[in-house]
């Protein structure tokens, strides 16, 4: 029996799978999920001329994430569409609702700060240059994704020939190529014209059905979906719950939301983040291993540290990790893809078995390798972290290679350069250098770790 070929309204499901793959770069536990939802709803509403929905979307998004400006950019593209169509009355109505959408941001508890924060943050050029998520997409291992999205979006625009589609693809394409963090937004912008173009193609009815099933299977099997292992400290939370570890947790802000969702009490979770507050200052002082961090631990009853091994935005080793590794008063409870759980010896549950502390360096190596693979030469700090981890794990040749790659990108780091010089001298059978390397490798097992912070 032959397949009936006809134009099918659900043919856009063919692009759902690829869109989910691209969105998984940042979709999941992060607050941007609210942005992606608001983005999609804005496009859906404006395609139907439902401009009164715009104020609700900007105000609602401002409650979760400081990005209502993105929704307003979508509205601006559709305003141009209305202007080109020369529908003066509709244009006036659309402009009115857009103005109300701007004003609506001011009624939420965080106010217009949610509207201006993206602009202020982007203007901090020196800061964004050090954050891995701001790496240009073509300089990362995700270059093929942004190129594929651009091809789909432009192909769709060639069919629809609408000003709004062209502006969406070009505008968000500029953002998508400028930084890895913007690839999902570009995918959402390109989805509309690509799906509209597919809707005009006569295809067998069974193909969209297969595409929908495959897309759903991929989406829910993807490691980027939901709050699963590898994204958040699932095993750490289960360990704390199972053994009812006494005391308080200290953690970085990006892991706190999940810990709070599990009913634990993180030191910071970012649900009302409006800049540095007391909880973040406490967390930072401990996680950065600042002078007096032990006093803070004793004063505030902190008995657990849940943290990634690397700062996810910069690629440096979280300074508290080597300090806890070298401190006999702390034990390593477990490692997982999202990070580490250290517990104070006096609070460690009797029924649990601590892990070998060198597993912390294996975790550093895993996170650094993944970050180096994702961002390439654009994130050299990951190579530095790889080199230090390999040194602590006894792979001196690998450490030298990783540090050499780092020094090639950052030649003015004296500490890394000194370690690399010693490693190379040891490779030449310099007895004094070999002794120093052995001390660096052993450093921290009986004394504070050497050179493993920033």
Whether the pLDDT of residue 1 is over 70: the answer is no
How much is the pLDDT for 388? 93
Mean pLDDT of the chain, nearest integer? 82
Please say if the pLDDT value at position 438 is more than 90. no
Q: Residue 88 and residue 74: Cα distance in Å, rounded?
A: 20
- The total number of structural domains in the chain stands at 3
Would you say residue 446 has pLDDT above 80? no
For residue 317, the SS3 value is strand
Parent domain of 450: 368-454
Domain finish residue from 330, 357, 384: 357
Which of 6-20, 349-363, 428-442 is predicted most confidently? Answer: 349-363
Contact 318, 360 (CB under 8 A): no
Question: For residue range 361-384, what is the model confidence (pLDDT) as tens digits?
Answer: 999 999 999 888 877 766 788 899
286 in the same domain as 197:
no
Residue 213 sits in the same domain as residue 238: no
Please indicate, yes or no, whether residues 202 and 268 belong to a single structural domain of this protein.
no
Question: In the listed set 324, 357, 390, which residue is the last one of a domain according to the structure?
Answer: 357
Q: Are 198 and 271 in a shared domain? A: no
Answer with the one of 221, 247, 279 that is the final residue of a domain: 221
Interatomic CA distance for residues 317 and 365, integer angstroms: 10
Q: Which residue has the higher pLDDT, 70 or 280?
A: 70
Alpha carbon 399 to chain centroid, angstroms: 27
154-205 per-position pLDDT tens digit: 999 999 899 999 999 999 999 999 988 899 899 999 988 888 887 777 777 7
Whether 330 and 393 map to the same domain: the answer is no
Examine residue 101 and state whether it is found in any structural domain, yes or no.
yes
Are 251 and 295 part of one and the same domain? yes
In a domain, 54, yes or no: yes
pLDDT band, very low/low/confident/very high, at 6 (cuts 50, 70, 90): very low
Q: Which helix (H) or strand (E) holds 294?
A: helix 293-300
CB 40 within 8 A of CB 86: no
Q: Are 211 and 65 part of one and the same domain?
A: yes
Q: Is there a single domain that holds both residue 418 and residue 279?
A: no
Q: Is 442 within the bounds of a domain?
A: yes
Q: Which parts of 48-131 fold into alpha helices (H)?
A: 53-62, 68-84, 88-105, 113-123, 125-128
Residue 151 lies in a domain: yes
- Based on the domain organization, do 67 and 210 belong to the same domain? yes
- pTM confidence score: 0.66
pLDDT in tens, 322-344: 999 999 999 999 999 888 999 99
Residue range 223-263, pLDDT digits in tens: 544 444 467 888 999 999 999 999 999 998 878 878 887 88
Q: What is the pLDDT of residues 90-106, one digit of tens each?
A: 889 999 999 999 999 99
> Do 84 and 188 share a structural domain?
yes
Q: pLDDT above 70 covers what percent of the chain? A: 83
Question: How high is the pLDDT of residue 10?
Answer: 44
Would 362 be classed as within a structural domain? no
Q: What is the DSSP letter of 349?
A: -
pLDDT of 347 > 90? The answer is yes
Decide if pLDDT at 448 tops 50.
no
In a domain, 194, yes or no: yes
Residue (of 133, 444, 446) closest to 319 by Cα position: 444
Decide: 128 and 121 in contact? Cβ < 8 Å.
yes
- If you ran DSSP here, which 8-state letter would residue 330 be given? E
- The answer to whether residue 278 sits within a structural domain is yes
> Do 339 and 381 fall into the same domain?
no
Do residues 248 and 292 share a domain?
yes
């Amino acid at each position: 029996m032959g397949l009936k070929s006809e134009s099918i309204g659900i043919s856009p499901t063919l692009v759902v799978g690829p869109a989910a793959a691209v969105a998984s770069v940042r979709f999941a536990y992060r607050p941007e999920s609210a942005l992606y939802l608001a983005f999609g709803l804005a496009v859906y509403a404006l395609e139907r001329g439902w401009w009164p929905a715009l104020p609700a979307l900007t105000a609602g998004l401002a409650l979760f994430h400081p990005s209502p400006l993105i929704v307003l950019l979508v509205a601006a593209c559709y305003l141009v569409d209305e202007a080109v169509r020369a529908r003066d009355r509709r244009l006036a109505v659309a402009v009115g609702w857009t103005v109300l959408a701007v004003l609506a941001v001011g009624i939420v508890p965080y106010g217009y700060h949610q509207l201006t924060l993206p602009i202020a943050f982007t203007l901090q050029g020196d800061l964004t240059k050090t954050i891995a998520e701001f790496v240009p997409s073509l300089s990362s291992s995700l270059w093929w994704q942004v190129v594929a999205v651009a091809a789909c979006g432009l192909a769709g625009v060639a069919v629809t020939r609408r000003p709004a589609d062209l502006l969406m693809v070009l505008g968000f394409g500029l953002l998508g190529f400028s930084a890895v963090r913007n690839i999902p937004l570009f995918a959402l912008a390109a989805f509309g014209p690509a799906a509209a173009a597919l809707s005009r193609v006569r295809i067998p009815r069974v193909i969209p059905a297969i595409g929908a099933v495959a897309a759903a299977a991929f989406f829910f099997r993807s490691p980027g979906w939901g709050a699963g292992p590898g994204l958040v400290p699932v095993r750490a939370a289960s360990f704390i719950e199972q053994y009812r570890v006494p005391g308080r947790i200290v953690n970085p802000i990006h892991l706190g939301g999940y810990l709070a969702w599990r009913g634990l009490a993180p030191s910071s979770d970012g649900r009302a983040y409006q800049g540095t507050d007391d909880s973040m200052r406490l967390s930072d002082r401990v996680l950065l291993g600042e002078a007096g961090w032990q006093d803070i631990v004793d004063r505030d009853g902190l008995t657990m540290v849940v943290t990634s091994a690397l700062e996810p935005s910069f690629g440096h080793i979280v300074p508290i990790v080597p300090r806890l590794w070298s401190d006999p008063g702390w034990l390593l409870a477990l490692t997982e893809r999202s990070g580490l759980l250290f517990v104070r010896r006096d609070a460690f549950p009797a029924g649990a078995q601590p892990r070998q502390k060198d597993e912390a360096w294996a975790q550093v190596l895993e996170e650094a390798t993944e970050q180096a693979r994702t961002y390439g030469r654009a994130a050299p700090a990951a190579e530095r972290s790889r080199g230090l981890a390999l040194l602590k794990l006894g792979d001196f040749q690998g450490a030298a290679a990783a540090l050499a790659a780092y020094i090639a990108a950052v030649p003015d780091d004296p500490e890394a350069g000194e370690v690399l010089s010693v490693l190379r001298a040891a490779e030449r059978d310099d007895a004094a250098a070999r002794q120093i390397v052995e001390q660096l490798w052993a450093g921290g097992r009986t004394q504070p770790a050497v050179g493993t912070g920033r």
